[in-house]
Chains A and B, each alone.
Chain A
Amino acid sequence: MAYPTDLFGLSGLWFQWLLLLMVYSYVLYKETPAYRFAEHLYIGITMAISLMVAIGNVTRIAIRPLMAGEVIYVIPLILGFAMYALLISEYRWVSRYPIAILVGAGFGLGMRGVLIPNLLSQVISTIRPPTGNAPIDWFTFVYVAIGTICAITYFLLTYEHTGALSYPTRIGRWIIMIGLGVYFANTVLFRMSMLAGRAQFFLQVLKIIPM
């Protein structure tokens, strides 16, 4: 992306830069009117775009075919409108029908494809030893095998975690904590990437680094 040269592009770029400062003023200084302005602007614009996209989508998928004579599309439209009954306490029960259909369809579709990739493939992958002789592959295999067994034993809640179950459950707890630590570290990593992107943009607008 090249540095804009026209007035429209430049004003857009500098407005973005100012909004960035306004938003970061909250964490780098304190809550300011500038931050509140940026926050409200963001929410307003996001809602407006979402609304327009949703209306466009419904028009494209249901209303146009309905207008073209495909009467079947009246059903999803009625179900969609029924969702708004949530807002009227007297007719809230009407919204249960579309919600029931959504939940039912979600469960049905999810269950259809969940067994093989989420269960069977995972079990096979866990018990199948690596084909190569690389030490890291064997270490991973042993770690995953022991980790899986110990983590499962931790959730054996019908037995007291003493005696023979004492060590596996302790190891299982450590494995779970390490796993959760990895999740959290990856979450931090994602935020850092976002922040790095903004820091880069900040410098690019000031022409300290090329765009």
Chain B
Amino acid sequence: MSGESILVKLQKIDRRYLYWILFIGLAIPFIRPIGLPIAVTPSTLSLYNELKTLQPGDVVLLNEAFGVGGIPECMPATAASTKIILRQGAKLIFVSPYVDYQILWARLQELVPDFAQKEYGKDYVFLGFYAGLEAAVAQLGANIRTVFPTDAYGTPLDQIEMMKNVNSARDIRLVLSGDTGDWCDYYIRQWHTNYGTPVGEIGIAMLGSSYMPHYRAGVLFGMSVGSRGGAEMEKLIGEPGSATVTMDSINVSHLLVIAAVILANIGMLSARGKGGK
């Protein structure tokens, strides 16, 4: 063991040390922000621009298809988008296929102070949870009342002012889907293809590469990817929030991961050069 070079030892480093370094490295930028610049990507700009075209009275369906684990990635862009939607005078319908839907709704209301100036049932409505994957999304498009006979508080939709003329996808101006999975695909297939409803995506980072072909093909009108997308949206509306604060930390984490990968590969190549496995 004592004869091993430092590069070889690096390959055998206890991964717990790496986790500690990572955790501390992530925490430091919160205490001492670096303030790295954030450039806005075209896909986020398209999302912002389309939301800015909303007219008073337009109805937007916000599908929050992520659990609490997805909050750091999806919620910042969702909150920024919700602010735009409400400030444009559009009406908001909140639905979620995740059992965490009440936590998501509460967090969204915390992050968007504009809700205080709006009236429930007139400007926004919380329909709550729905199950049934793509079949439910298709049914929502055909007849919202069959999936949601009432809102999340038990009030029949017909008694909710803003829902009186909203029956199907044809009455919805656009859909915004916050995703950790395939839900945006369901809305593309069942709403965009069948009814022509524009669909925008707020996805976790790993969905960026999955949905980029859809964005480039014009199937999605815009797309926010992960915390980075959230930070871009916060920049566009001029209100730095949690994603902007988190970006420094995420950048540091990436540098640490890249450094770890480089060191491990140097160690491996060095060992291979000396006839090791």
Contacts and interface: CB of A to CB of B under 8 A. Distances in A.
A199 B19 contact: no
Given A117-B214, A190-B73, A193-B250, A199 B26 contact: yes
A110 B28 CA distance: 46
B160 interface: no
Nearest to A64: B149
Interface majority SS (helix, strand, loop, mixed), chain A: helix
Nearest to B228: A189
B170 interface: no
A109 B189 contact: yes
Contact of B31 (A183, A194, A208): A208
Interface in B219-277: 219, 226-227, 242, 245-246, 249-250, 253-254, 257
A202 B20 contact: no
A27 B19 contact: yes
B31 A110 contact: no
Interface in A4-46: 24, 27-29, 46
B250 A113 contact: no
Contacts of A67: none
> Which of B23, B131, B226, B245 has the largest number of chain A CB atoms within 10 A?
B23
Interface in B49-65: none
B89 interface: no
B226 A29 contact: no
Interface stretch (B80-88, B116-124, B190-198): B190-198
Contacts of B218: 121, 125
A72 B174 CA distance: 32
Interface residues of A, number: 50
B148 to A, nearest CB: 8
A77 interface: no
Given A200-B30, A203-B27, A190 B189 contact: no
A171 B251 CA distance: 31
B190 A109 contact: yes
Contact of B192 (A56, A117, A183): A117
B110 interface: yes
A14 B138 CA distance: 43
A132 B36 CA distance: 30
Contacts, number: 142
A109 B138 contact: yes
A117 B219 contact: yes
B249 A113 contact: no
A56 B30 CA distance: 41
A113 B99 contact: no
A189 B72 CA distance: 12
Contact of B193 (A117, A183, A188, A202): A117
A203 B31 contact: yes
A105 B101 CA distance: 26
Given A53-B129, A199-B30, A208-B31, A65 B149 contact: yes
A53 B99 contact: yes
A200 B246 contact: yes
A163 interface: no
B34 interface: no
B112 interface: no
Contact of B217 (A64, A122, A189): A122
B110 A50 contact: no
Contacts of A200: 27, 30, 242, 245-246, 249
B253 A186 contact: no
Given A189-B206, A200-B249, A28 B193 contact: no
10 contacts: A27-B19, A109-B138, A117-B214, A121-B218, A122-B213, A183-B209, A186-B209, A187-B206, A192-B250, A199-B30
Given A61-B149, A189-B205, A208-B31, 19 more contacts: A28-B16, A57-B130, A65-B149, A109-B138, A113-B190, A114-B189, A116-B193, A117-B217, A125-B213, A186-B207, A193-B73, A195-B22, A196-B26, A197-B71, A197-B246, A199-B26, A200-B242, A200-B246, A209-B30
- 5 closest pairs, A vs B, by CB? A113-B189, A197-B72, A125-B217, A113-B193, A121-B217
